[in-house]
Homo-oligomer: A and B are copies of this chain.
Amino acid sequence: MKRYEALADDVARSIRAGLLRPGARLPSVRQASAARKLSPATIFQAYYLLEAQGLIESRARSGYYVTQAALALPPEPETASRPDGESREVDVSELVFEVLQSAMQRDIVPLGSAFMSPAAFPLDRIGRAVATAALHLDPWSTVDDLTPGNAALRRQIALRYLIDGMDISADEIVVTNGALEALNLCIAAVTQPGDAVVVESPCFYACLQSLERNGLRAIEVPTHPRDGIDLDALETAIARHAPRACWLMPTFHNPLGCTMPEERKRALVELLARHGIPLVEDDVYADLHYGPRRALPAKAFDREGLVMHCSSFSKSLAPGYRIGWVAAGRRAQDIARRKLTSTLNTNVPMQIALARYLERGGFDRHLRRLRSTLAQQQASYAAAIAAAFPPGTRVTRPAGGYFLWLELPEGVDALQLQRRASKLGISIAPGPMFSASRGFGNCLRLNCGHPLDARIAAALRELGTLAASTA
């Protein structure tokens, strides 16, 4: 954990413990810097994060104060999951499709959706870049930009790694149809049907669906809703099951929102390297950090080329354009060849358009706006949930992304809640979608990527009432 994150954590704990009451003034940046022996920049970063989380607010020329809403926020889940440690065949795809199908109309309240509001993206600017690319397309680019993909786009992606201090060659990057294709190519490249793969507990349902489709077994490893996968438990699972790969989301995990502190990411990579186990790293939400800087991915600590870092522009810039990539380390050529024999190539004009957009600048400006929007939405959703849901409900407070994970009181059946909410035109993502062992029966993932308008506020109240009556 970074120093500023640790400090923000301290302050948040003090607020929840009642030591800092709503309306109380925080030490000034200078005072705190002197008292804590931390640089003013670190204090500022911590306050920035707390502000994004809705716990404090700055008042002009006066300082930082605990918000009125701070104490109203529901408590966070505090304990890691406890899967049974077995490796098992996966059979959740049918359930996942049932739930998703019911959420796929515009008039359904999209609390169960995996997509944030498409209105949050600069689709007009991207549209102009696409128009330019399409109208001036060099016919031969349709051949030149074959997989591994458009060279300018791969350079732009490599450049973004470089800004984070990561030395990733453009040659290692393969452009894909979104991150999902990258993830699927990677897991297929390092496994055979019947192999076991480590996943978090809970984990993204598309990961489980991929394992199911490829005939792979899942090993669910305990995962903490704030810090991510438990490394001791991972070591035990490796000794017991000899997994052929890990498929993890160390940053802004879906559905938990947790981010492994960088030191734990380093330890994860070293642990896997000792066993020669490849890591398929799903990092699609990294750009959506509320704090001042992007978390380094596990890939940043990879010395062996064993980490395949998969991401995309679908969550940050251009949904529906299907431009993702993988920095595939030692597997880059293998991944490119698998792509050539399965989908051949990624849409060429879109690759050119995104390269042009990135070259022109404006992406970071857009991201700053988007992050601030998402942070505010998260805070307002959390407050609305606190007001609507039964006592005992716990809610994560991720420092990025647009998902909240709710632990409802024991006895609430999230699958039943989902069916009843669906009849009211409200979608939710019940916990068992995220688990090969169908755990998390009293949990939900809620999407806070849409502005909290009256319709969604009403839906949250209805959900809370339903949850109370289901308990």
Query: How far, in whole Å, are A197 and B134 apart by their CA atoms in the complex?
Result: 40
Query: How far, in whole Å, are A121 and B140 apart by their CA atoms in the complex?
Result: 11
Query: How far, in whole Å, are A346 and B181 apart by their CA atoms in the complex?
Result: 11
**A130 CB contact (under 8 Å) in B97, B121, B142, B349:** B349
Number of A interface residues in the complex (CB < 8 A): 61
The minimal Cβ–Cβ distance linking A370 to chain B, given in whole angstroms, is 14
Query: How far, in whole Å, are A210 and B340 apart by their CA atoms in the complex?
Result: 10
If the complex has contacts A177-B177, A180-B343, A337-B93, are A139 and B123 also in contact, measured as CB distance less than 8 A?
A: yes
Does residue A347 face the partner (Cβ distance < 8 Å to B)?
Answer: yes
If the complex has contacts A347-B350, A349-B321, are A342 and B123 also in contact, measured as CB distance less than 8 A?
A: no
- Report chain B residues within 8 Å CB of A206: 341
Which residues of A, 236-259, contact B by the 8 Å Cβ criterion?
none
**A143 CB contact (under 8 Å) in B115, B137, B178, B321:** B115
Query: How far, in whole Å, are A341 and B123 apart by their CA atoms in the complex?
Result: 25
**A344 CB contact (under 8 Å) in B144, B180, B341:** B180
Closest residue on chain B to residue A113 by CB atoms: B143
Contact, CB under 8 Å: A106 / B140: yes
Closest residue on chain B to residue A131 by CB atoms: B131
Contact, CB under 8 Å: B146 / A104: yes
Does residue A25 face the partner (Cβ distance < 8 Å to B)?
Answer: no
- Report chain B residues within 8 Å CB of A193: 193, 215
The minimal Cβ–Cβ distance linking A62 to chain B, given in whole angstroms, is 39
**A134 CB contact (under 8 Å) in B118, B126, B184:** B126
The minimal Cβ–Cβ distance linking A175 to chain B, given in whole angstroms, is 12
- Report chain B residues within 8 Å CB of A213: 188, 338, 341-342
**A322 CB contact (under 8 Å) in B119, B188, B210, B347:** B347
- Report chain B residues within 8 Å CB of A368: none
Does residue A124 face the partner (Cβ distance < 8 Å to B)?
Answer: yes
Which residues of A, 341-368, contact B by the 8 Å Cβ criterion?
341-350, 353
Q: Mark A109-128, 1 if CB is under 8 A from B, else 0.
A: 00001010111010110111
Q: Mark A129-152, 1 if CB is under 8 A from B, else 0.
A: 011101111011111111000000
Does residue A316 face the partner (Cβ distance < 8 Å to B)?
Answer: no
Q: Mark A90-114, 1 if CB is under 8 A from B, else 0.
A: 0001000100000010100000010
Query: How far, in whole Å, are A437 and B258 apart by their CA atoms in the complex?
Result: 52
Query: How far, in whole Å, are A298 and B277 apart by their CA atoms in the complex?
Result: 46
The minimal Cβ–Cβ distance linking A327 to chain B, given in whole angstroms, is 19
Contact, CB under 8 Å: A130 / B123: no
Closest 6 pairs (CB-CB, A-B): A142-B320, A131-B131, A118-B139, A130-B134, A320-B348, A127-B134
Supply 8 further A-B pairs (C-beta < 8 A) apart from A128-B134, A131-B135. A123-B137, A127-B349, A131-B134, A142-B320, A181-B342, A188-B213, A320-B347, A321-B348
